[in-house]
Structure 1
Amino acid sequence: MSATRTPRASVLPEPGAGSRTRPIACWGLLCLVVVLSACTSAGDSRRHTTGPADGAARSTDASGGGPPCTTSVDALAAPPAGYRLVGTDVAVPDAPVLSAEDAGEADPAARLFAKWGLVVRAGTVVVLRVAPGWQDRARLGWGGTGAPATTATVHACAGEGGQAQWLAFVGGTWVARAACVPLIVTSNGQDDRVTLGIGVPCDKTPTP
């Protein structure tokens, strides 16, 4: 769709080989790029106005049941290259370091921001939170205009026809200073722990 920059969208289809189909394919490619760019701009979590307490922007669940859907920016057949699984339902970047920039936030725990895309198995609800002892040093959030928070709930609604296996969400991690940040991922009643190097690699920074 355990940031930096949003993960690349799934591989775009190549234009048709025939000369008669090439103009149509090019127009389709251009439209898709424009749509994804607009989603990424709207999903920059650093420029939020208001948002739910858990840090995830919501849209309506088309099925009418369960929690509302979190806004995604891409549908994928599988987690993209450069991602690793956390448990069975979540994938996070495998990069040793996620670059962090000044976030412009008043919260001292959100001074720096690393933008990265969270990838969640379609049809699941996951809860991510900063590990105990890090509540005053880190924040997280995905799905659009959600405010930085210590806990974020992401509902990856299944697409129509169940074609999409994974969904990608724009967001990332805020920190008081560059550090190896531990996160707890909860899905299907199971807790999994993952560490992310925000501004520094984890092998250079001990994690409590």
Structure 2
Amino acid sequence: MSAHAGATRTPRAPGLPEPGVGSRTRPVAWWGFLSLVVVLSACTPTGDSRQHTTPPPDNAAPSTGASGGGPPCTPSVDALAAPPTGYRLVGKDVAVPDARVLSAQDSGEADPAARLFAKWGLVVRAGTVVDLRVAPGWQDKARLGWGGTGTPAATVTVHACAPEGGQAQWMAFVGGTWVAQAACVPLIVTSNGQDDPVDLGIGVPCDKTTTP
């Protein structure tokens, strides 16, 4: 028997999932994205990226974990040197998919505002805390959630605690966007006191005919 028999290898942290259909690029990095989708499919029900927990007050999804100060750390799935190919910056501290359309499927949620779900990875600069919320007028049409522990909410806070060693500059989180129907969803990202808007095509591309 080989001296290596029975040995186990610690798997490398998976990359982000492919950010939906319609992406303009297909780099080798997509293999990492696809690997994460397979892992998620094995661990969670279809269209569900978090455990069911008691809804937090004021319709806000909490993070979990521990940190030296501020809000708890949000559970991440990868540490990155930079946002991956196929992502765009929103402000200075957040990156979102650059795809024209993020594919959406039935979520199985009872909440009418969360009927469809588009799974995608959020990338946040390490060591920062960001708030993401649906734009005014969309509280009954869309929900958000990342980190695998919260209930879909109109407003979420993501605390990207820096990893040990401080080598990685960005942290990746699994989650996505829920919507009442396919639409171009306007979000607001807040970091360091600055608000930055971003539109995401959930099930349909963003144009003047797809926003309810």
Range of TM-score over shorter length: 0.7 to 0.9
- Is the 1:51–1:57 Cα contact (8 Å) retained in structure 2? no
- Is the 1:128–1:151 Cα contact (8 Å) retained in structure 2? yes
- CA shift, 1:39, in A, is 10
- CA shift, 1:123, in A, is 0.2
Match of 1:171 in 2: 175
- CA shift, 1:45, in A, is 4.4
Q: Any residues of structure 2 matched to 1:11-90 within 5 Å, and which?
A: 28=9, 31-32=11-12, 37=39, 41=43, 45-50=48-53, 53=56, 54-61=60-67, 63=68, 65-90=69-94
CA–CA distance in structure 1, aligned partners of residues 176 and 102 of structure 2: 10
Q: In structure 1, what residue type is equivalent to 2:127?
A: G
Q: Residue by residue, what CA displacement relative to the aligned partner does 1:97-131 show, whole Å, maximum 9, x if unpaired? A: 00000000010000000000000000000000000
- Structure 1: gaps of 5 or more residues: 1-22
- CA shift, 1:159, in A, is 1.2
Which aligned runs of 4 or more in structure 1 are off by greater than 6 angstroms?
33-36
Q: Does 1:162 align with 2:166?
A: yes
CA–CA distance in structure 2, aligned partners of residues 205 and 105 of structure 1: 26
Cα distance change of structure 1 residues 178 and 73 upon mapping to structure 2, 3 Å threshold: same
Match of 2:133 in 1: 129
SS at match of 1:105: coil
Q: In structure 2, what residue type is equivalent to 1:107?
A: D
Q: Which structure carries more relative contact order (alpha carbon 8 Å, separation 6+)?
A: 1
- CA shift, 1:66, in A, is 1.7
Cα distance change of structure 1 residues 38 and 188 upon mapping to structure 2, 3 Å threshold: same
Number of residue equivalences: 181
CA–CA distance in structure 2, aligned partners of residues 70 and 193 of structure 1: 22
CA–CA distance in structure 2, aligned partners of residues 42 and 56 of structure 1: 19
Flag the structure with higher helix content: 1
SS at match of 1:172: strand
- CA shift, 1:206, in A, is 4.8
With normalisation by structure 2, the TM-score equals: 0.77
Cα distance change of structure 1 residues 51 and 32 upon mapping to structure 2, 3 Å threshold: farther
- Structure 2: gaps of 5 or more residues: 15-34
With normalisation by structure 1, the TM-score equals: 0.78
